[in-house]
Chain A
């Protein structure tokens, strides 16, 4: 019995143009065979498993139908959220287990990059049936198949893509594919739903596509009115226009297209708006008027379905409305894909990504900035992987997540062997490249994060002490006295310190509060840089800390921009709804970027931006002798360009 060779379809770019054409030939044969009612036995004895972590009707049914038509059989878990995933099983474990039950997996998942994870952990081939807002390659195969049949070619078409371009995964896959066929792509985003940068950067880097943004007025004056103008009743405030490079001349042509070959309309991906979002009242509405202009006479209207109300029903009988044919193509195209995968799927060697993987020292890999990335949701076993971003210039250090393709813009870089950190600047680029090769690069969002991990600034100017041990002790005492005086209900108090010096201070505040109030409030620490910032008891008690209805005193050593406090509050709100939050800090150094004000301040010290305030505290409940090391110093950081001249 033939088995599927292990070869996955995660991105539409996993297929070469020749392979796509091969699949389309097969699809046409299968369509004819279905028409004739032939019985096929190509996949006899083989089992396909469909794992859908998100609702789907047509994709899942057309996959299952395709497999049955090929003589194979299907096992299905249509609603993974009610089954093993609800019990907390990871995606990796699920696909490993199901690999033993089936010969081919079809996976849909709400997180960006999930398909790549499934492909890496499954021992049988995986087909991506949609991962978050990233890609949906099999829908694109259906789209291209219909386009080719209607237009007779795929090269050099002009396609207008309208609607939600931000979250529409079908749109992203389609754009990657059309770019390979040298299409002109006109994007007409619904307000705020423009193509994400990472999609633009990918087609720019890999296909030398250039984005030119034109306002509607510019478009009008250049082209005498473009059909796309008819797409929305309330016109989008800007249009983006792609023009394919001429590969020979490599000169982008900035002309608006002469005639449109297709309109590709998508629905608003409400489920990805995260509860909020545009209400969609003025979303694209496409009706017969749009097809009346001469420029659009030959254009077909496409939609990945389901439609909400962006396509008028009056279009359905127009021969140019091909969306039901698109849907019908789902079965023969997926049959052709399965057959192609079964028959060896001999693939041309894929080019290695241009940029090498960035190696980090164990435990210091940064997290992906995309909250929906699969690495953020399955962090127990997944380590994010990054490559230098496509557009990596020397001035900005961008790292691109291998799973979701989003870019992490790096503020601070560190050198893991010398434990020094630097603000990134283009003079450091050469060093950073070397550190990447050596696996000694560390990256940080803030100075605080760098220092929490034991990194020191590369060079510091002369330092001066602004508080000594006695003054720190006095400030803690004064803060505690005020807290006690302000507290109407001492037993409702909870003290939470921000790791790590804020937590030490929190313990000291608790110590000082105990004799004043005749009650020692519970004390916990919150690590704001953890993936899942939980409250951890640090007062020896083991019961869970409840913040619901409690008066929380949040303690940190230095307040600067306020972002750390904001993160700490977000963490608190995950645990409940405090009756009040008071903020106590040892030092307020100004430079607030958020509307946050501490309630209790040990000392306010105006500082320049280039200065650092460093607090040193003896850990935990150490004796008075040890507290002698406590001090607060202020020093200035050397300008990055000065520092880099002397970098290792």
Chain B
């Protein structure tokens, strides 16, 4: 995903250090809410949510708990079915090589916006097994929810007008860590 072109105004909302701190804080909160981390499993939404899930999993051992297993869900973003109607996110694939039955799940995504991706993820997770609970961790909550979804752990709340886009860039994919708000590409 390319970012802003020079003619678009872009604001950097989080830099490398801010992202690192937010993730470290959220990892602490996850430990606090899940004493002993018994059986907690992480599911990241591809692609950036999955990267974040792996980073959270990597922080946890330094907090004295074993690194939990990480799986991924591949969910399409909004698509247009060609008839001018917006479609809902769909599950394109998953890589979850462990059972969810009887386990608490931590769902990880980069940006929480309308809540539709999370709804699709919740329904995919419950199709797959019977998790005891699902907690939601997001790096950015940009508000403007269309569904009654809320995150349990939020890196930062950002409000951006609907015309703008929040880009989360992560070094594993984009070569750099930052969160940028910019005009939506035409």
Contact = CB atoms under 8 A, between A and B. Distances in A.
A595 B118 contact: yes
A595 B93 contact: no
Interface string B81-108: 0000111100111111110000000010
Nearest to A598: B148
Given A579-B146, A596-B150, A569 B132 contact: no
Contacts of A598: 148
A97 interface: no
B134 A276 contact: no
B151 interface: yes
A276 B124 contact: yes
Interface stretch (A297-305, A580-588, A625-633): A580-588
Contact of A593 (B96, B97, B133): B133
A398 to B, nearest CB: 13
A279 B87 contact: no
A579 B116 CA distance: 10
B123 A570 contact: yes
Interface string B128-147: 00101111100000000011
A274 B98 contact: no
B74 A276 contact: yes
Contacts of A573: 88, 119, 123
A594 interface: yes
A371 B128 CA distance: 10
Nearest to B153: A595
Contact of A595 (B85, B88, B149): B149
Contacts, number: 77
Contacts of A554: 148
A561 B104 CA distance: 13
Contacts of B97: 191-192, 237, 278
B127 interface: yes
Contact of A596 (B74, B93, B149): B149
B183 interface: no
Given A278-B97, A577-B87, A597 B133 contact: no
Nearest to A600: B148
A581 B88 contact: no
A593 B85 CA distance: 33
A598 B22 CA distance: 26
Interface in A564-583: 565-566, 569-570, 573, 577, 579-583
Contact of A274 (B88, B122, B127): B127
B177 interface: no
B148 A594 contact: no
Interface residues of B, number: 35
B126 interface: yes
A594 B146 contact: no
Contacts of B151: 595
A276 B94 CA distance: 5
Given A192-B98, A276-B93, A371-B127, A580 B74 contact: no
A383 B25 CA distance: 51
Contacts of B93: 275-277, 279
B50 to A, nearest CB: 14
A306 B124 CA distance: 29
Interface string B44-65: 0000000000000000000000
Nearest to B69: A237
Interface string A268-282: 000000111111000
Contacts of A192: 95-98
Nearest to B75: A276
Contacts of A566: 122-123, 126
A581 B148 CA distance: 7
A107 B69 CA distance: 40
Contacts of B148: 554, 565, 581-583, 596-599
Contacts of B74: 276
Contacts of B126: 566, 570
A274 B124 CA distance: 10
A79 B165 CA distance: 48
A580 B150 contact: no
A582 B114 CA distance: 12
A577 B88 contact: yes
A203 B127 CA distance: 27
Contact of B92 (A276, A369, A570, A594): A276
B127 A595 contact: no
Contact of A569 (B73, B124, B133, B147): B147
Contacts of A583: 148
Interface string A256-295: 0000000000000000001111110000000000000000
Contacts of B146: 579-581
Contacts of B127: 274, 371
Contacts of B124: 276
B117 to A, nearest CB: 12
A158 to B, nearest CB: 26
A275 B119 CA distance: 17
Contact of B132 (A237, A275, A369, A593): A593
Contacts of B122: 566, 594-595
21 contacts: A192-B96, A192-B97, A192-B98, A275-B93, A276-B124, A566-B122, A569-B119, A570-B126, A577-B85, A577-B88, A580-B146, A580-B147, A581-B146, A593-B133, A595-B107, A595-B122, A595-B135, A595-B149, A595-B152, A596-B148, A597-B148
Interface of B: 73-74, 85-88, 91-98, 107, 118-119, 122-124, 126-127, 130, 132-136, 146-152
Of all A-B residue pairs in the complex, the 3 with the closest CB atoms, nearest first, are: A192-B97, A595-B136, A593-B133
